[in-house]
Structure 1
Amino acid sequence: MMKPSAVIDLLARPLGVLRLSLTARCNLACRYCCPESIEPPGLLSTRDQLRLIQAACQLGAHTLRLTGGEPLLTDRLWPLLDQLSLARQEVAHPFSRLKDVAITTNGSLLNDEKARRLRDMGVDRITISLDAVDGASIARMAGLRTGPEAGKALIQRVLAGIDAARAAGFNPARGRLKLNAVIQRGQNDDQLIPLARFARTQGLPLRLIEYMDVGNRNGWCRDQVMPASEMIQLLHSNWPLQSLGRQPGGTSGQWIYEDGEGSVATIASITEPFCSDCNRLRITADGQAFTCLFASEGLDLRPWLREDISDSVLAEVMTGLWSRRSDRFSEERGLEQPANHHAEMAYLGG
């Protein structure tokens, strides 16, 4: 099998990760994400999605992350995984180059049957988002207007989802099951230690994410950003940590607890940008390609997904998009006034 042609951008960054959004809708209304209640028009078909994934693989992508909104909310997930799984088993197929197929979910819709289907269809990793372990806090963060009792019920559903994933074979000790938490000062920063304690008890790697200025609806304010360094300092005062650094092309700084009880990571897009080796291409549920999470506009790929357009032409268009890329918004944020408009988090797929 020929190796994929590694396309690089203007800053010599190769394409490595494709984040494909399946829906802009979500069953929650998290305050930092503000999802749509309806789908954008012109959603990609399964055939369209497969063509885009194939082109990305041919250009060097080795990781596919399926996102939303909430990807488990749409039935469009299953036919995509079915065909993707079959093609990954063919040595000569571009999909066989995918080392990792992952899905990000809030976990509230994950049950035994869905977890087994995900595992059987070749999903390698599940990341579950949980921003608090207290009923009132999670209700506030998830936009549940009915208060603490609804928050407690949500936590129980997420716990059941974690158990289902573990039972299906997603082993957190091997990095197959992780927990994400966005920490927003003044909103859920009091949940940092309880979340870490919960993750340690559950044997789950925990990724702590700085509150980001993605989109325009979340009322982002820098004062509400809790720096990753501060998060680590607080955790370290409870359970000493040892730094493992950040892998090239990775988004998170890695830490392990010195007592051997698991690991924690931080995604510090605001205070410790990692634009220099960012390798991610995002494609929305309606076919808009974004080369930066903080971009305001994407390239509509749907004209090149018509049946009369060849796969090679589609690959050329995506090559051109990536090779012209020079995005480094997070690094420039500290140098100049950032743009006032960004695409919304749920639309971009995070």
Structure 2
Amino acid sequence: MPADAIVDRYRRPMRNLRISVTDRCNLRCRYCMPEAEYVWLPRRDLLTFEEVSTLTDVFMSLGVDKVRLTGGEPLLRRELPELVSMLSRKPGLRDLAMTTNGVLLADHVEALRAAGLGRVTVSLDTLRADRSRSLSQRNSHAAVLEGIASVAPAGFTGTKIDTVAMRGVNDDELADLIEFGRTVPAEVRFIEYMDVGGATNWSKDLVLSRAEMLSRLTDHYGPITPLADTGAAPADRFALPDGSTFGIVSSTTQPFCATCDRSRLTADGMWFRCLYAVEGTNLRDPLRDGASFEELRALITGRWEAREDRGAVDRLAERDRMPFIPVATLKANPHLEMHTRGG
């Protein structure tokens, strides 16, 4: 840990910053954006690339060395490679990645690579076009597969595929997705269905747990070996008998709050220190009002050192667990949406 890194009340450092560059999305995935209408952030409120760069410098001075660009769908932000170029040139930034739904990826992948993007994660919940249409409420499955196919030829390695695994929806495709990942190549990470933000149709009956995923994959492949602990990484990684790997993010049934080192900056400059947090810190207004680097640094330091969030652990303790945020509350405060804060 760098000498100037800060820690919260549970001695967790701040290492990983997720930056949402837009709240807009070109899909309407039923586990994330199931409603008919949304309140979008005013475009004038969005951080400029220069403002994102400045805030990134402040965060890096306090220990952040990994940045992930998210959305919404980040490729809807115009001239995104320009921001990638600004960030990739920063000394000390160890990892610069992006999470995308893949729909526009094939058109932008070469420019992103040329700008210095290090890694790509693509969301893919099914290999079936009909299921994709039902889940995303859009007819874009072919474009997503084209986007995934474009990643390796552009020179990217370390690619990951994120799959939200849901009982009775896509739980019969676990092995198929792993096999597809071999062809990309990409490591598949199965994510337990979480009750955050726009998951207003969440039910515990839809959650396919890590334990059940491992049981099903063991029945298919044979013995599965847990790999060494990767510290603060959200996914636990496993090896199949042939040595190929996959991951599981078990935030719902086995939270990793104890090692969580990540926070989120929305496209309009609200900083959230937990995916379940209902309140954030406005960094845009102080920045635009002329706050100095040291003043911004002090603001972030104070909030992080007071951090005691363990949202997933707290939710796990609830006996009658329901969707976290009701629809009316989401409409009143769009910052609570996962497509706004960057899940």
Normalised TM-score (structure 2): 0.90
Residue type matched to 1:127 in 2?
Answer: T
Structure 1 residue 184: Cα displacement: 1.4
Q: In the TM superposition, what is the alpha-carbon distance from 1:269 to its structure 2 partner?
A: 0.3
1:78 aligns with 2:81: yes
Quote how far apart the aligned CAs of 1:38 are. 6.2
- Aligned partner (choices 46, 49, 66) of residue 49 of structure 2: 46
Mapped contact 1:9–1:324 kept (Cα < 8 A): yes
The SS at the match of 1:167 is coil
* Helix, strand or coil at the partner of 2:316: coil
Contact 2:163 2:190 in 1 (8 A): yes
Equivalent in the alignment of 1:318: 300
Structure 1's 217 and 182: CA in aligned 2 closer, same or farther, altered over 3 A? Answer: closer
Indicate whether 1:329 and 2:332 are aligned: no
- Aligned twin of 2:60: 57
Provide, for residues 8-38 of structure 1, a one-character-per-residue CA deviation record: whole Å limited to 9, x for no partner. Answer: 0011100010000001111111111118766
Aligned to 2:21: 22
- Matched AA of 1:138: S
Identity between Structure 1 and Structure 2 (%): 39
**Once the 2 structures are TM-superposed, how far is the Cα of residue 192 of structure 1 from its aligned partner?**
2.1
Residues 32 and 198, structure 2, Cα contact 8 Å, conserved in 1:
no
Return the alpha-carbon distance in structure 2 between the equivalents of residues 197 and 292 of structure 1: 33
Aligned 8 A contact 2:72 2:342 in 1: yes
CA distance in 2, matches of 1:323, 1:273: 21
> Measured at CA, do residues 295 and 307 of structure 1 come closer, stay the same or move farther in structure 2, by a change above 3 Å?
closer
Q: Return the letter of the residue paired with 2:166.
A: Q
Q: Deviations over 1:228-279 (max 9, x none)?
A: 111121112111321104311110110112113x211000001111000100
Alignment of 1:177-326 (within 5 A): 177-240=159-222, 241-260=224-243, 262-306=244-288, 308-326=290-308
Q: Secondary structure at the match of 1:333?
A: helix
Distance 2:168 2:48 in 1: 41
In the alignment of these two chains, the number of paired residues is 326
CA contact (8 A) 1:141 1:188 kept: no
Shift of 1:193: 2.8
Check the 8 A contact 1:227/1:271 in 2, yes or no: yes
What's the TM-score, normalizing by structure 1? Answer: 0.88
Match 2:341 to one of 316, 331, 348: 348
CA contact (8 A) 1:18 1:65 kept: yes
- Deviation, 1:75, is 0.7
Cα distance in 2 between the residues matched to 1:216 and 1:19: 18
Structure 2 CA distance, aligned partners of 1:217 and 1:138?
A: 17
The Cα shift of 1:101 comes to 0.1
Change (3 A) 1:27 1:340: closer
Match of 1:132 in 2: 126
Counterpart of 1:170 (choices 153, 156, 160) is: 156
Q: What SS does the aligned partner of 2:308 have?
A: coil
Decide whether the 8 Å contact of 1:25 with 1:37 is kept in 2.
Answer: no
TM superposition shift of 1:76: 4.8
C-alpha displacement of 1:61: 0.4
CA distance in 2 between counterparts of 1:344 and 1:8 reads 27
Aligned AA for 2:33?
C
Counterparts of 2:228 and 2:131, CA distance in 1: 31
One-letter code aligned to 1:49: V
SS in 1 for 2:152: helix
Contact persistence 1:24–1:346 (CA under 8 A):
yes
CA shift at 1:217, angstroms?
4.8
Tell me the C-alpha RMSD between the 2 structures.
Answer: 1.9
Residue 11 of structure 1 is matched in structure 2 by: 10
Q: Distance in 2 between matches of 1:192 and 1:293?
A: 26
Contact 2:19-2:342 at 8 Å conserved across structures: yes
